[in-house]
């Protein structure tokens, strides 16, 4: 077990702190990865409630890819995610695609965001933009407002004036990697892929429709085999996902029958709470 965690798990004061609900601001203050004593990264908790020890930064540029939104300091991930993104960039370049733009992965210690994401908390999620082609260093530093919307939101269909085969090819390459468990896209994008995939459909079941995701797609990796504290999701359903499940996304929303109760945010996993109360925390804070 990491020395940081062991040092933290002492004293009644620390135990009292563990019971408190941390705020996203606490995770935002972490400016550099939390070192792992044994050199192995530890994703802790779930994709939507967790943290990471031993995250790595994705280099700003590499073969076939470029990191954007760098001013947000969200380009850290589990080493498996970093290797995956480098691998995907190489595949995209080999396929003759424009430079792949990598958006948010996770913060240096993972954890909850102040804005923008419910997941991306263990360094095993990454956003890849549907805008393609290298950006200037200034635009890569602050990329707000520079995305490419490929869906006609009113028609709930892909805009064929913008969508092209490069988008489909990149998503397919992303899904074919063995480490990927899910890729979230707008339902209209999933529909387009279902209509144009042809006979090679083995990768389509990983493509999952979800709200938004009309200017980027969201890649999720499975928990690494040695990640004892990582909570895996259930497997995706069998089949290509192009049937009734997909078309239900385009049906009018049903009227609400119950009261809108406020969402209860669960406490972080115990090991993540230990990180925030560790006596070593000054080492990774600003």
List, for residues 224-256, the tens digit of each pLDDT value. 998 999 999 999 988 999 999 999 999 887 776
The separation between CA 95 and the C-alpha centre of its own chain, rounded to angstroms, equals 24
- Give the C-alpha separation, 59 to 219, whole Å: 18
- Which residues have CB under 8 Å from 99's CB, separation 6+? 64, 65, 66, 92, 132, 133, 134
Kind of pairing between the strands at 216-221 and 180-185: antiparallel
Quote the pLDDT of residue 17: 42
Kind of pairing between the strands at 65-67 and 76-77: unpaired
- Mean pLDDT is lowest, of 79-83, 126-130, 243-247, for 243-247
Looking up tokens 């595949």 gives 91
CATH code of the domain made up of 32-249:
3.30.1380.10
pTM assigned to the model: 0.90
- Which residues have CB under 8 Å from 74's CB, separation 6+? 103, 104, 105, 106, 107, 120
List, for residues 188-217, the tens digit of each pLDDT value. 999 999 999 999 999 999 999 999 999 999
Alpha helices in the chain (DSSP H): 3-8, 12-18, 24-28, 79-94, 137-141, 165-176, 187-196, 244-247, 270-276
Domain locations along the chain = 32-249
């Amino acid at each position: 077990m990491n020395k940081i965690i062991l040092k933290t798990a002492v004293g009644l004061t620390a135990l009292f702190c563990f019971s408190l609900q941390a705020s996203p601001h606490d995770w935002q203050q972490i400016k550099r990865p939390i070192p792992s004593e044994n050199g192995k990264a530890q994703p802790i908790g779930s994709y939507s409630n967790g943290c990471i020890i031993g995250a790595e930064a994705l280099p700003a540029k590499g073969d076939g890819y470029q990191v954007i939104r760098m001013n947000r300091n969200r380009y850290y991930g589990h080493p498996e995610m970093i290797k995956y993104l480098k691998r995907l960039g190489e595949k995209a370049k080999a396929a003759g695609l424009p430079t792949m733009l990598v958006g948010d992965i996770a913060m240096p210690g993972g954890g909850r965001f102040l804005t923008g994401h419910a997941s991306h908390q263990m360094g095993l999620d990454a956003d890849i933009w549907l805008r393609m082609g290298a950006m200037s260093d200034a635009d890569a530093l602050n990329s707000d407002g520079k995305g490419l919307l490929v869906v006609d939101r009113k028609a709930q269909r892909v805009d064929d004036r913008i969508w092209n085969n490069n988008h489909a090819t990149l998503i397919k390459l992303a899904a074919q990697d063995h480490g990927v468990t899910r890729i979230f896209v707008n339902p209209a994008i999933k529909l387009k892929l279902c209509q144009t995939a042809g006979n090679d459909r083995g990768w389509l079941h990983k493509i999952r429709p979800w709200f938004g995701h009309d200017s980027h797609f969201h890649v999720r990796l499975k928990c690494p085999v040695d990640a004892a504290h990582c909570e895996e999701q259930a497997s995706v359903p069998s089949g290509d996902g192009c049937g009734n499940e997909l078309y239900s996304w385009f049906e009018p929303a049903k009227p609400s029958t119950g009261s809108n109760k406020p969402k209860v945010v669960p406490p972080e996993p115990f090991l993540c709470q230990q990180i925030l109360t560790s006596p070593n925390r000054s080492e990774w804070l600003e």
